[in-house]
Structure formats: structure tokens, C-alpha cells
């Protein structure tokens, strides 16, 4: 019974770590939206959002041993990004409506969508295959039976 409690604690700790990482990633990405090099908008926040969301989902599934952590990390990321894209009372925004802001929202959502597809897609049922070198059991061929016709 003690090992089961330790495993549950490790899974709960993993969930907390992954959700905290998703919150931190969304915060960092939000502040990287206005990233320009020589006056040209560089979608660094969008690229990071895609790979971090996908990677955090994989890390969460590995740590927690359950696929539902993907949904939890997605909700945490969306909460921060939506809060950062709403104007304050003074009218200031963290995520602006420009190329980089849209790239962040689109790429981050795409990273989450890829992770959701990866862990929640329907998989075909597999039938056991005979081992190499063994022969599959032979099925009897039904013989034609004589039926009496009236």
C-alpha cells in the first residue's frame, strides 16, 4: 500500500510541475510577442509556443502516466494567454493584435492540437499476430451439406 501512495504523490507532483511550467511558458511567450529584429517582426513567441505546448504535453503524459494532463496544460496555457490579451483598465495590452500576437495564438493552439491528436486519436484495434516461424491455426473449410428440397 505504501508504494501506491508514493506513486500517487509522484503523479500529483508531476501534474503540479507541468501545469506550473505551462503557466510560466505562457507568461514568457506573452512578453516575447513584441520581438523585432531590425524593425522586422520575428514570431519567436509563436515558435516557442508550438514546441513548448507540444513538449509540455509529452512531459506531462510521461510524468503523470495519464493522457488527461494534456487538457490541463492546455487550459493553463489558454488562461494566461487570454488574460494577457485582454486590455487593462488603463487600456494596455501584453499580447497585441499584430503579426506576432496572432502567430502566438495560432502556433500555441496548433501545438496543443497536435498534442491532443497524438494522445486522443482513435487507434485501430490490433489483433494478435502469430509469432514468427509458427503457423497460424488452420480453419476448417465448411463442407457443403446436402439439404433436402421439398
Predicted pLDDT of residue 114: 95
Neighbours of 70 (CB within 10 A): 24
Q: What is the pTM of this model?
A: 0.75
Predicted pLDDT of residue 88: 86
Task: Identify the CA nearest to 95 among candidates 49, 144, 150, 142.
Answer: 49
Residue 90: pLDDT over 60: yes
Q: What is the pLDDT of residues 124-148, one digit of tens each?
A: 877 776 666 666 555 656 655 556 5
With 0-12 / 13-18 / 19 or more C-beta atoms within 10 angstroms meaning exposed / middle / buried, residue 27 is middle
Q: What is the band of 4 on the pLDDT scale with cuts at 50, 70, 90?
A: confident
Interatomic CA distance for residues 13 and 16, integer angstroms: 5
Placement of cell 488574460 in the chain: 83
Q: What is the pLDDT of residues 92-128, one digit of tens each?
A: 888 888 889 999 999 999 999 999 999 998 888 777 7
Amino acid at each position: 500500500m505504501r508504494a501506491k501512495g508514493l506513486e500517487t504523490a509522484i503523479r500529483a507532483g508531476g501534474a503540479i510541475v507541468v501545469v506550473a511550467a505551462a503557466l510560466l511558458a505562457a507568461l514568457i511567450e506573452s512578453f516575447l510577442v513584441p520581438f523585432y529584429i531590425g524593425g522586422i517582426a520575428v514570431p519567436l513567441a509563436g515558435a516557442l509556443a508550438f514546441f513548448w505546448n507540444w513538449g509540455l504535453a509529452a512531459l506531462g503524459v510521461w510524468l503523470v502516466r495519464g493522457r488527461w494532463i494534456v487538457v490541463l496544460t492546455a487550459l493553463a496555457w489558454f488562461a494566461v494567454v487570454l488574460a494577457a490579451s485582454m486590455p487593462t483598465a488603463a487600456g494596455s495590452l501584453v499580447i497585441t493584435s499584430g503579426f506576432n500576437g496572432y502567430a502566438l495564438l495560432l502556433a500555441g493552439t496548433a501545438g496543443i492540437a497536435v498534442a491532443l491528436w497524438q494522445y486522443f486519436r482513435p487507434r485501430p484495434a490490433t489483433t494478435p499476430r502469430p509469432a514468427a516461424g509458427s503457423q497460424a491455426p488452420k480453419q476448417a473449410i465448411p463442407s457443403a451439406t446436402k439439404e433436402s428440397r421439398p
